[in-house]
Amino acid sequence: MKQVVGIINLQEGNSLIRELAATRAVEALPFAGRYRLVDFAISNMVNSGMSVVGLLLPDFSRAVLDHIRSGKDWDLARRRDGLTYLPAALPDNDSRKGDLKDIYANLDFAELSGRQYVLLTNASYIYNIDFKDVLKFHKDSGADITMVYSKAQVDREGKSVVIETSTNGIVTDLAEVPAIKEGQKDVMGAYLMPVPTFAYLVRSTYERGGQDFLLDALIRHAHEFKISAYQHKGYVAHINSTMEYYAANRDCLKPEVWEELFMNNDRPIFTKVKDEVPVQYKETANVKNSLIANGCEIRGTVENSIIFRGVIVGKGAVVKDSILMQRCDVQEGARVENVICDKEVIITKNRWLKGAENYPYIVKKKARI
């Protein structure tokens, strides 16, 4: 994988997850008690042996920059190679939206990297993969472009890219759909191709008025290339809506999912290190089937929930089927059920909040209820 340069596109749309991503990139959303979504994309590249990684920054980039910093926690703070931030294109008279303008503005990052291939991914997918297998598959197939896909396990709302393939794994049809059905082949936002192919797609499409890499470059030019599809058979979640975010976090309560994502010694998921004291479980604490991060103090009941760093659950309080982000405070006698609390929310004494099982109630950052 030393011959591959990685580009992680952090410009995923947030229209279906706006409540949580109004002032942060989707890829910066906290996940599974101590991680952020972007951790998976970076870790997958580093674990696969890639040493040149570029992050195409989103409009709201502060949370991403604060989390990743120099890339030290992923072993990307190096004298040579390592992590590069790829800023958005400078404002001009070109009013086109979409990610293609920013990819075009940073095209020299790939062309001057000295690498033979480019791996373009987005960071809104949750999975643990070895991209060395994808590169081998790409070479063996003789394809111009290789996509990574998984078979959808359930029907799911939200924009997705689906493909159809022949028996030898060659893509015969490629389209964007508003919702995906169980069994369809869902492209996971990862595309491997030679650098000259990538440069041709970006340059020719943008200079002819294109806006979006996927729609205008890849899908519309698909007939020009031999495209192969590599199937990832492990766990996959696409965080493109509030419900998908809620469901993917709760999936981590399943031992088999947690083990696959986080317990692989050869492919650990790295994140920003924060040294905090262990969880304090007081005498009145009652915890069942939950993930609770360091720095928390639990005096009440927690069931089937994800609790991030520094959260306080008071005596007599009940947290059930919920996600509480960093430094939330659920005070004595309060009850939250089917709720997502953003950072630093305070639920005052004896207050009750309850969302629907199929759509959680969302409390905005720093709210006091």
- pLDDT given at position 14: 60
Pick the closest to residue 143 from 111, 171, 184 (CA basis).
171
Pick the closest to residue 103 from 8, 228, 5, 243 (CA basis).
8
Using DSSP, state whether 71 is helix, strand or coil.
Answer: coil
Does 141 lie in the same domain as 244? yes
Does 238 lie in the same domain as 123? yes
14 within 8 A of 242, measured Cβ to Cβ: no
Does 290 lie in the same domain as 258? no
CATH classification at residue 341: 2.160.10.10
Q: What are the C-alpha distances in Å from 263 to residues 20, 128, 131, 252, 294?
A: 28, 10, 18, 12, 18
- pLDDT given at position 6: 98
Q: Is residue 272 part of a domain?
A: no
Query: How many domains, the chain?
Result: 2
Does 151 lie in the same domain as 118? yes
Distance (Å, whole) CA 86 – CA 103: 9
- pLDDT given at position 168: 86
Does 128 lie in the same domain as 57? yes
Domain coverage including residue 293: 280-363
Using DSSP, state whether 72 is helix, strand or coil.
Answer: helix
Q: What are the C-alpha distances in Å from 158 to residues 25, 66, 176?
A: 17, 29, 10
Does 290 lie in the same domain as 253? no
Using DSSP, state whether 188 is helix, strand or coil.
Answer: strand
- pLDDT given at position 159: 82
Q: Is residue 133 part of a domain?
A: yes
Q: Is residue 116 part of a domain?
A: yes
Q: Please work out, in degrees rounded to the nearest 5, the angle formed at the alpha carbon of residue 113 by the alpha carbons of 264 and 89.
A: 100
Q: Is residue 350 part of a domain?
A: yes
Q: What is the pLDDT along the chain (369 residues), one digit of tens a residue?
A: 899 999 999 987 666 688 888 888 899 999 999 999 999 999 999 999 999 999 999 888 999 999 999 999 999 999 899 999 999 887 776 767 789 999 999 999 999 999 999 999 999 999 999 999 999 999 999 999 999 999 998 888 878 899 999 988 899 999 989 889 999 999 999 999 999 999 999 999 999 999 999 999 999 999 999 999 999 999 999 998 899 999 999 999 999 999 999 999 999 999 999 888 999 999 999 999 999 999 999 999 999 999 999 999 999 999 999 999 999 999 999 999 999 999 999 999 999 999 998 889 999 999 999
205 within 8 A of 17, measured Cβ to Cβ: no
Does 169 lie in the same domain as 284? no
